[in-house]
Amino acid sequence: MPLSSPGLTEVRVQDLHCTLLHAVGLPLDDVEGDTVDAVIEEVTRYAQTLAPTTLTFDRPAIGDVAFEISGWPGRPFTQIVETLTQVMEKRCQPFTAAPSRYPHISLAYTSTGAEAINATDLKAALAAVDQPLSGTVLMDRLHLVEQWHDGAHITWNPIADIALTGAVPA
């Protein structure tokens, strides 16, 4: 199934990600002094309490702005999102928090020409894939990044890569 077609821009393999939180309206250049270091320290302390966990992602679905795969379990993901949102709201200047409400990976974003996409045709093409499309991803780190989306591609500037180092439950 072509993900890169009129109205859809495919996410490159190296850019696939599961977003936790967008801090809308908070460019890195606007963050004062040692705030970034304080955020990294607080998130690192939190990550030390979290064990790596496996997320399972299911068949792709057509969303409002993306072609995506949704994942589960949602509870560990949601707890991380809530904690990161609280850390950012406590430490950073005013911004609009746009937390992810469920684990998902976007495979393609809508772009110019999206109004011509026929969702029924895309769903029929998905149904024609006669094999499982589920897979698992080990969530073992958090990447803090400054991110831009130009309507076609997502790019980011890495800020910190923080490992989940808590004990795995027996």
In the 3-class helix/strand/coil scheme, how is 23-44 assigned residue by residue?
EECCCHHHCCCCHHHHHHHHHH
> What is the Cα–Cα distance from 83 to 99, expressed in whole angstroms?
11
**pLDDT value for 82:** 96
Domain residue spans of the chain: 8-163
User: How far is residue 126's CA from residue 123's CA, in Å, rounded to a whole number?
Assistant: 5
Domain 8-163 belongs to what topology? Cyclic Phosphodiesterase; Chain: A, (3.90.1140)
Q: Identify the pLDDT of residue 7.
A: 83
SS3 137: strand
Ranges of residues in the chain whose predicted pLDDT is under 70: 1-4, 151-152, 169-170
pLDDT of residue 155: 81
Task: Kindly report the length of the chain.
Answer: 170
Q: Are strands 141-149 and 53-62 parallel, antiparallel or unpaired?
A: unpaired
Neighbouring residues of 74: CB distance < 8 A, sequence distance ≥ 6 = 102, 103
In the prediction, which pLDDT does 151 show? 67
Residue entry with tokens 């607080």:
42
Q: What is the pTM of this model?
A: 0.85
Predicted pLDDT of residue 38: 94
